[in-house]
Amino acid sequence: MTTDALDDHRPSRSAPTRGFGRKFGVHAVMVVLSFVSIFPIYWMIVTSLRPENETFSTALWPSHPTFDNYLFVLTRVPMLQMLFNTTLVSAATALLQVVTGMFAAYALVRWRMRLSSVVHGLIALSWLVPFQVTMIPNYVLASRIGLLDTLTGLVVPNAAHAFAILLLYHAMRAFPTEVLEAARMDGARSFRILWQIVTPNMGAPIASLSIIAFISAWNEYFWPLLLSRKPENSVVQIGLQMFMTQEGNLWGPLMAAAALASLPILLIYLVLQRHVIESFMKSGIR
Amino acid sequence: MTDIQAEVAGPALTKKAAERSKMTREGFTISPWLYLAPALILLMIWTYIPLAETFRLSFYQWNMLPTSPQRFVGLLNYQRLLALPEMRNALWNTLCYTIGLFPMSVIIPLFVAIWTQDLGGRARTIYRSMIFVPMIIAPVVAAVLWRWLLNEDQGLVTLALDSLGLGRVGFLTDPLYALPTLTWITGWKLIGFSTLLFSAANAGINPSYIEAARIDGASRWRIICDIRLPLLSPTILLLSMMTVLFGAQWSFAYINVLTNGGPLKSTTNIFYLLWEYGFQTLSAGWSSAAGMIAFAGFAVLAAMCMWLTKRFAFYDN
């Protein structure tokens, strides 16, 4: 299945001209769905901009928008440090998933091994193991090798992911074998083939994977919850949760904290909207 | 896309794929293993060895302190767990979450997609980019947002219900409503995404089938039942499978942030129970045993889903 069909703006040939009523109904359904999707986020931003004495107002836009709530959050929780940490962790995770994924996918595409299907199955099945089932041994291991309360500890367990490998494997399988063969005849070493011939042609899937891996890592919550101790070594999701437990009913600042935690992702979405949607659609739920 | 997820469904489907791909036959070489090493070693260290370790721990009693001894207790953990009403309650709630999620992850999106299929041009693009947004919002942020909207004193939804004369509802504090509320938040993140997935699949249907059916005088409803639904079956099965296998895991974040399993354990599902045993009561044995039960259960479900997909998914080749 591709998403091309989605972007096909021609009205489908099979659609006869329909009445105004139906057309209105269609738009009504979509408007309701869009409203439900977007309003909570709009409300978060509006609440975060209200001055303290207006927090409970139901006006759709604050009469005197202010950034006081944001300043309050920044004085209570080291949010900037956390934003920096999260960016670092997410970028590193995405990069490592691309690298380990490219290597593994290349091995599976380029060589036929007797154990290929076993390896393949092992990779795919790892996706089905819930995090909560392996968390205790993982936690014990992380604490034993000194990864507790470090950013490295947040990245390493996610440095390879079944999803990344399979996505790249499928993209790479479409790569013409003749080219690889020709390069091999010319005596190119396997690493050079991967680096100079395969990788430059894998731009789109690598971009998709990076987007998904970055967003997933940004939104990751449980592993940091187990691993982090000090706020300044933690990520925004934990910061937000800490803020909620401490100042749970200061709705203005809480919404400001939530907005800060999702701002970078929303910005990425604003800029790369089409790519983000397509990446997710092509590769399914993560 | 369907390809990737079919692979995830299990290795049974992968054999065919391996045969199909054109590769050169070689004797044993070390190179592929060098390329596979980083990924395989990481998966071993962080997934498979821990899985085996959880299995081992499920026969032991241990309070997770490195200094305290692990005591072998055989099947005692399992026996105790299965006799606990807590466990039964958690399994029941897990089922409730999964079933409650279906309308939002499969049924409504399916019908919205079919109903809105003629939508074209700019409007489609705008709706598309709006309904996708919840998908990329972090679970913790989603939890906080809905906590504010549903707040019992000043939340917007509460105020709206109040002004309609429906009274105030303790969305997160009333045992009757807490689980449906968490299910709703879980579904909120999925509904737009599922709709887009169905729209794409629906738009991909070859129009000549519909044309032919219409010439034969089939009604709109018959066309949906006899042509669209069968051709959408791979997507329906895929999203159903995702809901069954991952639904309970997706709700975990909201349970942890919003209710801690309460009120009166009404929102505790199996994954939250694992968490509670593991990191709140520090009984690694119980948590591991519950984890193995959950894992085995979901593995059986996954196998069943795969079988269903093979049996019923209809591909238009």
Three-state SS across A104-172?
A: HHHHHHHEECCCHHHHHHHHHHHHHCCHHHHHHHHHHHHHHCCCCCCHHHHHHHHCCCHHHHHHHHHHH
pLDDT of A286 over the 50 cut: no
Comparing B312 with B71, the larger pLDDT belongs to B71
Do B148 and A6 lie within an 8 Å CB cutoff?
Answer: no
Q: Give the separation between CA B151 and CA B162, rounded to whole angstroms.
A: 12
| % helix, strand, coil for chain B, step of 5 | 75, 0, 25
Do residues B226 and B184 touch, judged by C-beta distance below 8 A? no
Whole-number pLDDT of residue B7: 46
Residue scoring higher pLDDT (A101 or B117): A101
Using a CB-CB cut-off of 8 Å, the residues of chain B touching A262 are 137-138, 141
For A104-117, write each residue's pLDDT tens digit: 998 888 887 778 88
Report CA dihedral (B120, B126, B132, B133) to the nearest 10 degrees: 180
Instruction: Average the pLDDT over A214-232 and give the result.
Output: 91
User: How does pLDDT run across B143-158, given as a tens digit for each residue?
Assistant: 999 999 998 888 888 8
Stretch A138-153: mean pLDDT = 92
Q: Which residue, chain included where needed, has tokens 């009604």? A: B219
- Residue B317 is predicted with a pLDDT of 57
pLDDT of residue B316: 67
pLDDT for the residue B289: 93
Whether B78 contacts chain A with CB within 8 A: no
Instruction: Kindly state the average pLDDT of the residues B76-97.
Output: 91
pLDDT band of B27, cuts 50, 70, 90: low
Among the partner-chain residues A6, A118, A165, the one whose CB lies closest to the CB of B203 is A6
Please tell me the total number of residues recorded for chain A in this structure: 286
Cβ–Cβ gap B117/A162 under 8 Å: no
Of the ranges A62-66, A226-230, B21-25, B311-315, which is most confident? A226-230
Overall average pLDDT of the B28-46 stretch: 88
Helix (H) or strand (E) holding A242: helix A236-247
Query: Looking at per-residue confidence, does A197 or B139 come out higher?
Result: B139
pLDDT > 90? residue B92: yes
**How many inter-chain contacts (A to B, CB under 8 Å) are there?**
349
pLDDT at B141: 95
Cβ <8 Å between B145 and A177:
no
Task: Scan for tokens 């731009």, then name that residue.
Answer: A203
Rounded percentage of chain B residues whose pLDDT exceeds 70: 91
Q: Is B43 helix (H, G, I), strand (E, B) or coil?
A: helix
pLDDT at res. A15: 46
User: What end-to-end distance do the CA atoms of chain B give, in Å?
Assistant: 15
Cβ <8 Å between B4 and A283? yes
Q: For B48-74, how does the pLDDT look when each residue is reduced to its tens digit (9 = 90+)?
A: 999 999 999 999 999 888 788 888 988
Q: Residue A284 — pLDDT band, cuts 50, 70, 90?
A: low
The token duo for B30 is 């070390």
Name the maximum alpha-carbon separation found in chain A. Answer: 75
> B24 or A123, which is more confident?
A123
Q: Closest Cα to residue B7, out of A104, A226, A124? A: A124
Query: Quick one: pLDDT band at residue A5, thresholds 50, 70, 90?
Result: very low
Cβ separation B8–A127 shorter than 8 A? yes
Q: What percent of chain B has pLDDT over 90?
A: 37
Helix-helix angle A79-110:A162-173, to 10 degrees: 50
Decide if A193 touches B, using CB distance below 8 A. no
A126, A152, A177, A276: best mutation site toward chain B, by most B Cβ within 10 Å? A126
Report chain A's mean pLDDT, rounded to a whole number.
Answer: 85
How much is the pLDDT for B28? 63
Q: Which amino acid belongs to residue B300?
A: V
> Quick one: pLDDT at residue B9?
44
pLDDT tens-digit readout, A246-275: 877 788 999 999 999 999 999 999 998 888
Q: How far apart are the first and last CA of chain A?
A: 17
pTM for the complete prediction?
0.88
Give the model's pLDDT for residue B313.
76
Q: What is the pLDDT of residue B139?
A: 94
pLDDT score of B279 more than 90: no
The position carrying tokens 């909570």 is A40
Q: What mean pLDDT value characterizes chain B?
A: 85
Contact A13 B249 (CB under 8 A): no
Predicted local confidence at residue A93, as pLDDT: 96
Rounded to whole angstroms, the Cα distance separating B305 from B237 reads 8
Quickly state the pLDDT bin for A128 (edges 50, 70, 90). confident
What whole-number distance in Å separates Cα of residue A227 and Cα of residue A23? 52
Query: What is the phi/psi pair of residue B71, to 5°?
Result: -110, 130
**Position B169 pLDDT exceeds 80:** yes
Establish whether the linkage from the previous residue to A253 is cis, with ω within 30° of 0.
no
- CB contacts, 8 Å: A46 with chain B: none
User: What pLDDT, on the 0 to 100 scale, is given for residue A154?
Assistant: 93
What angle separates helix B270-279 from helix B284-312, to the nearest 10 degrees? 160
% of chain A surpassing 70 pLDDT: 93
